[in-house]
């Protein structure tokens, strides 16, 4: 069984948009959708909600822990610290607005993965250190669904593309147990801390990448996931909408500017140019079963 940990910061009662909805109300709604998806579609997992603010979920099969610190990087570090003291090989850490789920549509291998995630994770131990599902905003779905060699590669293999450009680093192996490394998030970064953690992994020689067979979904109102248009709103426009009070961001600053500042701090931290961070390793592939794929994940 895999534990899925959710860091839960709900914000305050400031207005999130022109409808009068507060930030906390908006995030509570989003969290409810995430928990519904995890407790409905996933199997063989335990969902643990780490509250940074008091909250009681309506789902009865969710374990609640109310002692998590802020900010989110510190919260993730608390989860990792506890994880390192177990004998478990894998865990997942979600923000409270993302999930991985199947909704009876053509989502590549998402349904098969969440039916029994350990069936794949156990094959990755010691080879892949951490990975995230791919985000359709950054990896267009059509390029995976259309014909060609790339489609054939994903059809026949679980494909892990080496990259530090991840929209949330979700699945973590037990770095202390497997690689002898006790790694933590940088709590001095208020954004791009996932990317900084991925850089740490690469510098330690641990593979980190993006699983091209499985979807990540954002449940917040700002998400454009699974829409038909091939592009998404540029960060510049997102920043303008944040300033107009249309987006659920606490600081209402231009996100693009904050990302540039974080990139500068990361480069100064490692005394490297940005281009030096990009991994050059080959993708890791795990061949799928030759029998009908779903049979590999049947639960006895």
pLDDT tens, 19-53?
A: 677 888 888 888 988 898 888 888 888 999 999 88
Which pLDDT score, from 0 to 100, does residue 1 have?
A: 85
| Distance, first Cα to last Cα, the chain | 14
Does position 147 have pLDDT exceeding 80, yes or no?
no
pLDDT of 208 strictly over 70: yes
Determine the pLDDT at residue 206: 95
Check pLDDT > 50 for residue 232.
no
Q: Which residues pair with 205 in a beta bridge?
A: none
How many CB atoms lie under 10 A from the CB of residue 189?
20
pLDDT range class, residue 180, cuts 50, 70, 90? very high
Listed by start position, the domains of the chain span: 2-297
Average pLDDT on 273-279 reads 72
Looking at domain 2-297, which CATH architecture does it have? Alpha-Beta Complex (3.90)
Residue 218: band (very low, low, confident or very high) from pLDDT cuts 50, 70, 90 = low
Least confident of 135-139, 199-203, 250-254, 267-271: 250-254
Least confident of 145-159, 197-211, 215-229: 215-229
Residue % of the chain over a pLDDT of 70? 72
Residue 182 has pLDDT above 60, yes or no: yes
pLDDT of the residue at 237: 44
Alpha-carbon span 66 to 61, nearest angstrom = 16
Report the alpha-carbon distance of residue 179 to residue 177 in Å, rounded: 6
The predicted pLDDT at position 145 comes to: 56
Mean pLDDT of 137-153: 57
Q: At 150, is the pLDDT very low, low, confident or very high (cuts 50, 70, 90)?
A: low
The backbone torsions φ and ψ at residue 198, rounded to the nearest 5 degrees and listed phi first, read -60, -40
**For 6-15, 89-98, 115-124, 155-164, which range has the lowest pLDDT when averaged over its residues?**
6-15
CA neighbor of 75 nearest in space, from 59, 91, 95: 95
Q: What is the mean pLDDT of residues 86-102?
A: 86
User: Is residue 297 predicted with pLDDT exceeding 60?
Assistant: no
Query: So what's the pLDDT on residue 21?
Result: 79
Structure confidence at residue 267 (pLDDT): 87
Better-predicted residue by pLDDT, 185 or 275: 185
| Predicted pLDDT at 219 | 66
Give residue 111's pLDDT: 82
Strands (E), the chain: 2-8, 45-51, 62-65, 90-95, 98-99, 130-134, 157-162, 171-173, 208-215, 217-218, 284-287
Would the pLDDT of 243 be above 50? no
Q: Averaging pLDDT over each range in 16-25, 237-246, 268-277, which range is the top one?
A: 268-277
């Amino acid at each position: 069984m895999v534990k899925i940990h959710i860091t839960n910061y709900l914000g305050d009662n400031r207005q999130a948009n022109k409808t009068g909805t507060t930030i906390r109300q908006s995030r509570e709604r989003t969290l409810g959708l995430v928990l519904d998806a995890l407790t409905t579609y996933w199997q063989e997992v335990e969902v643990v909600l780490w509250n940074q603010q008091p909250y009681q979920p309506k789902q009865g099969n969710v374990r609640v822990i109310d002692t998590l610190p802020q900010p989110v990087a510190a919260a993730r570090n608390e989860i990792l610290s506890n994880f390192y003291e177990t004998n478990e090989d894998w865990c997942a850490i979600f923000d409270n607005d993302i999930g991985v789920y199947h909704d009876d549509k053509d989502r590549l291998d998402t349904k098969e993965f969440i039916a029994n995630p350990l069936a794949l994770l156990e094959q990755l131990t010691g080879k892949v250190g951490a990975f995230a599902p791919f985000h359709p905003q950054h990896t267009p779905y059509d390029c995976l669904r259309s014909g060609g060699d790339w489609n054939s590669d994903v059809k026949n293999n679980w494909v892990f593309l080496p990259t530090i450009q991840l929209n949330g680093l979700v699945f973590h192996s037990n770095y202390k147990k497997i690689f002898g490394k006790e790694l933590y998030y940088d709590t001095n970064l208020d954004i791009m801390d996932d990317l900084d953690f991925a850089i740490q992994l690469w510098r330690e020689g641990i593979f980190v990448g993006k699983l091209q067979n499985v979807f990540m979904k954002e449940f917040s109102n700002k998400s454009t996931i699974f829409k038909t248009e091939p592009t998404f709103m540029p960060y510049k426009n997102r920043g303008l909408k944040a300033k107009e009070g249309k987006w659920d961001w606490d600081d209402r600053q231009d996100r693009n500017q904050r990302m540039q500042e974080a990139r500068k701090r990361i480069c100064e931290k490692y005394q490297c140019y940005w281009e030096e961070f990009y991994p050059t390793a080959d993708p890791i592939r795990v061949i799928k079963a030759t029998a009908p794929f779903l049979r590999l994940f049947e639960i006895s």
